[in-house]
């Protein structure tokens, strides 16, 4: 058992070294994805992790990863990783976050 795995109720959020938000969200594939961690296939319908970035300078991007690859390759580099309710990590809400202007830039 691992607290580091996103579930139906919980997603995870941390920050990468550039200060981008990194959200880890449980997902089931409706098509075949290729994991950027190991370049292997993620079979259709298998439980995996969506890694969604909300970029510090605006915008979002996401990739589909094997759960194990996230735990081994990505999580060790994330800061301040914590559980957040899965309801806060819907695609819509994260895209909305990505549209916000960067917090500290004011004119």
Instruction: State the residues that interact with Zn ion by CB under 5 A.
Output: 35, 37-38, 66, 69
Cα atoms in the 13 Å half-sphere on the side-chain side of 32: 4
Give min distance, CB of 86 to Zn ion, in A. Answer: 22
Considering beta carbons, is residue 29 or 98 the nearer one to Zn ion? Answer: 29
Which residue is at the shortest CB distance from Zn ion?
A: 35
Cα separation, 97 vs 59, in Å, equals: 8
Q: Do the beta carbons of residue 60 and residue 98 sit within 8 Å? A: yes
Q: Measured from the CB atom, is 34 or 93 closer to Zn ion?
A: 34
The token pair at 55 is: 């970029």
Closer to Zn ion by Cβ: residue 72 or 96: 72
Return the number of the residue (26 or 66) whose C-beta is nearest Zn ion. 66
Cα–Cα distance for residue pair 69/64, rounded to 1 Å: 10
Closest approach, Cβ 43 to Zn ion, in A, equals 12
């Amino acid at each position: 058992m691992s607290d580091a795995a996103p579930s139906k109720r919980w997603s995870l959020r941390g920050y990468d070294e550039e200060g981008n938000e990194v959200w880890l969200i449980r997902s089931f594939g409706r098509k075949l994805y290729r994991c950027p961690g190991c370049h292997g296939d993620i079979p259709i319908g298998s439980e995996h992790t969506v890694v969604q970035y909300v970029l510090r300078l605006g915008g979002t991007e996401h990739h589909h990863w094997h759960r194990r690859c996230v735990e081994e390759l990505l999580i060790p580099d994330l800061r301040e990783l914590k559980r957040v309710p899965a309801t806060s990590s819907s695609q819509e809400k994260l895209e909305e976050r990505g549209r916000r202007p960067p917090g500290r830039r004011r004119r």
